[in-house]
Structure 1
């Protein structure tokens, strides 16, 4: 029997966590990484028998590697709190592992739902994705440094994509998509300032037009009606919002640094004056 560990990274998402973990009973082990959680996420995870890693993980790579390193199985299944692994996909995952096919890692398709509506097309990675490498042998996946949706690298041989899809619940309505965009742009703005690779306004506008075209035209968002249009518009807005928020982050950090200097200078001057008076 090939052992499988599910790894779930959570940040104050208790409302989604219980349903997510209930669908993972087919796994041999569940590891929940609770990143700065102040809600009942840890309590819910332990109720389902999960191993809980509680701590502060500023970067996505920190969270995910902590979960993988805490797992004890040969294979890892990465799951988000908003993901649901239905019975058919669970059976397929187990069958693939038991048949010991040649692949070292597999992509899982993702069915994105807004409310009760399945939105198949128009996803560019800003709000969600259409498929991701989620099933892999330990030690074969690595993440770039960053806070959100960072690029990944896979070692070993790809086994292709499974047939069944993760059911991802993005929220009740369009407002949930906007909340998701707000979180994404806030974290991406921090990453931009950290790296110093800040795009200018004109470039950000150009990138936004490209994202809109890719979402609505290339990825087929036009097939999804108003929800596809909304996904395209939000994807197109993201580079400009990141640019503006990065400016705010940089200004905030600069002001904090100046205030820190002003706070320490008087104490330093008093010490120097005291030494001079001796």
Structure 2
């Protein structure tokens, strides 16, 4: 049996997240609704990651088994004709039997955008965290460095995370840009615990605001105590950029 792989982009503002939920519209529901129309029957899909409410994606990966797959172009053109304007299929391919968007993934890259501006900027309010106080970006970079590598990220894990443990390997963590403009936090890891990127960003912003010493991060990691880390950064600045296989 073939497996259809889709690369999906979406602006997550009006969704309760990727996963189907009873309390509002989800990206998964939109994808499955379009597929049901194309195939004239229900299809259940698996995603590489369950993005939260308000979080965006440029490179979400979706897969589902299919006995009689359509031509690859039909998934792109056909689904985009059926999907709402804030969701799109960017590419489609056929993968070997056994491919699974989640289980086959070897890593993901997220990008978190901060607009460090003097006053509110309406055009970026849905895709960035707007912070009006100047941030010490050099201190944020220094604080980010100890987070690279294999650690127990329990201090950056949501309290309701269902993962068996919080040990993850961060391959890349960069703070790009300068104070008074666009700052981007790029995080690439083998896997993530719930809210890990947003909690890392919230902690780095505390460093940038002078509320936390850059050198305190190793001790914070060792504590494994979520209450000692910074607040969870708001969802709109986060985007799932790419999934690696």
Q: Return the TM-score normalized by structure 1.
A: 0.28
Larger relative strand fraction = 2
Larger relative helix fraction = 1
Q: Return the TM-score normalized by structure 2.
A: 0.30
